[in-house]
Structure 1
Amino acid sequence: MSALIPSTRPPPGTPPTALHTRPSYPPAALDAIEELAGRPWRAQVADIGAGTGIATALLRERGAHVVAVEPGDGMAAGFRRALPGVPIVRGDGNALPLADASHDLVTYAQSWHWTDTRRSVPEALRVLRPGGSLAVWRNIDVFDVPWIAEQHERIARHCGVPPTFRSRPDDLRAARLSGLSGLAPERRHVCWSRVVPLDTQLADIGSHSAFLVLGEAGARAFLEEERTRLRKVFPDERVEECYLVDLLVVARP
């Protein structure tokens, strides 16, 4: 079941200081999670692959009691600086360091694709209490916006890989989640946008793994060229980025 509501776990090696450029998530996405989970936010929540705490902070603002799980040293350090009062434990989604039936909600924001679903689905169900829910979501670029599609193609060409345009999510994740859990996930799509300075948009591009692998000199040259291109589209250097949140929620009986 899917509805459209108007309105990326970082790659390994991404410096935590670069992650302030990454997009957050709109209020409508959190509203949808609450609706599909069928419980108020005053719940025990485990946020898996929490990174520097972008989603964790939103969950806390809603009144949830959150514990974060994060495998990376740098990300965990950034998380502690950003959210010093929130508990964080080291671990990953394939082997959660959490007790059986201990949480009402297990969340993966931009981090599900880093797991082996053959292991992470049973682990999430193990940690959930009866009636609890697993929520998996991510931001997807909206490629039917011309400048976003054109930039995506330039980045792919620069990195030597074929561009993969997917303006709407496919059903692979939903099928895997359903097949491994034996449960039918509910789905919501939330469209949203943010306006950021041009420097923030360029810093976000440069923080991705493809640019880290290619080296600083090559990345710098590309980003300077990209600055010139984007100034033609956004002469005030305020860039409107458009996203689609793809949300899946599975309720444990």
Structure 2
Amino acid sequence: MTTRARSFDAAAASYAAHRPGYPPALLDAVEELAGRPLAGARVADVGAGTGIATALLHERGAEVLAVEPGDGMAAQLRRAHPGIPVVRGDGDRLPLATGAFDLLTYAQAWHWTDPARSVPEVRRVLRPGGALCIWWNDADLTVPWIAGQEARLAEFFGAAEGSGFRTLPRGLGGFTTRSVSWSRRIPLDAHLANLASHSAFLMLGEAGTREYVAAERERLAPLFPDGTVEERYVAGLHVTRV
């Protein structure tokens, strides 16, 4: 898992350029379910990557600290957001003071942790009444072309590829869940670059990824004659107070 997680370092620039962000409604839901505004909250964004979620939290007025283990991802974050502090570490070994944070956020990141280690770290770092906020962007499978693409990916990489990917931790009380549907319109090439920035393709290698992406372009181009793709997502948010 560590090797796969660190595969993003070599593709940090592409990751930052092509990965989707998160809609304002998701951050509204974070505030509602956490029971406090983001403005003025001490937040550690763990597994921050290139800072996609970190920057949005910062824009909401949070006193946000990014926690990122990867060299390439942390460097990209610092270049793009020089005003946001970054510390090196991961969810299993948080380099953070005990009881120092109001919120811990894991955007597309909880699945890289070992819950036997990350859950005690959550309890240690959060202040009493603080909240753990976990979310993922998932492809909206109600859209036929997206469902078809996801089926091809599952067939290519194997059914075990995503097993356990969305498992929430035990031992922290119950989670409240909120789903936010949203979309973005981007060029077809940007959509394919987003696809290629996922860890499965980074582990596959350049030749295999290039071949797969070329075939996918041939399938999708007739569906989007103007060259613009509407990616639709369901952002799933899970919050528990500890």
Match of 1:125 among 100, 123, 127: 123
Q: Give the SS at the match of 2:6.
A: coil
Please say if residues 143 and 165 of structure 1, whose CA atoms lie closer than 8 Å, have aligned partners that are also in contact.
no
Aligned counterpart, 2:22: 25
What CA distance in whole angstroms lies between the structure 2 residues aligned with 1:106 and 1:62? 15
Aligned counterpart, 2:194: 204
Q: Give the SS at the match of 2:50.
A: coil
- Residue deviations 1:6-55, cap 9 Å, x none? xxxx9431210111211111111000000111111121100000000000
Instruction: Give the share of equivalent positions with the same residue, in percent.
Output: 55
What CA distance in whole angstroms lies between the structure 1 residues aligned with 2:41 and 2:230? 34
Residue correspondences, number? 235
Higher mean C-alpha displacement, 78-87 vs 142-151: 142-151
Match of 1:230 among 207, 214, 220: 220
- Residue deviations 1:111-153, cap 9 Å, x none? 0000011211121121111121110111111122110111122
Offset at 1:171? 11
- Residue deviations 1:187-230, cap 9 Å, x none? 11111111111011010111223223333223222212211211
Aligned counterpart, 2:230: 240
Aligned counterpart, 2:151: 153
Match of 1:135 among 129, 133, 136: 133
Aligned counterpart, 1:77: 75
What CA distance in whole angstroms lies between the structure 1 residues aligned with 2:166 and 2:225? 39
Q: Extract structure 1 runs of 4+ deviating beyond 4 A.
A: 163-166
Q: Give the SS at the match of 1:180.
A: coil
- Residue deviations 1:139-184, cap 9 Å, x none? 111122110111122233344x138899xxx99734xx3x312x22
The answer on 1:173 being equivalent to 2:171 is no
Per the normalisation by structure 1, the TM-score is 0.87
Change (3 A) 1:144 1:11: farther
Q: Give the SS at the match of 2:167.
A: helix
What CA distance in whole angstroms lies between the structure 1 residues aligned with 2:229 and 2:53? 23
Please say if residues 179 and 234 of structure 2, whose CA atoms lie closer than 8 Å, have aligned partners that are also in contact.
yes
What CA distance in whole angstroms lies between the structure 2 residues aligned with 1:205 and 1:171? 17
What CA distance in whole angstroms lies between the structure 2 residues aligned with 1:81 and 1:186? 35
The answer on 1:189 being equivalent to 2:179 is yes
Q: Mark the runs of 5 or more structure 2 residues left unpaired by the alignment.
A: none
What CA distance in whole angstroms lies between the structure 2 residues aligned with 1:122 and 1:98? 13
Per the normalisation by structure 2, the TM-score is 0.91
Please say if residues 206 and 212 of structure 1, whose CA atoms lie closer than 8 Å, have aligned partners that are also in contact.
yes
Please say if residues 111 and 166 of structure 2, whose CA atoms lie closer than 8 Å, have aligned partners that are also in contact.
no
Q: Give the SS at the match of 1:210.
A: helix
Residue type of the partner of 1:153?
A
Q: Mark the runs of 5 or more structure 1 residues left unpaired by the alignment.
A: 1-9
Higher mean C-alpha displacement, 228-237 vs 218-227: 218-227
Q: Give the SS at the match of 1:30.
A: helix
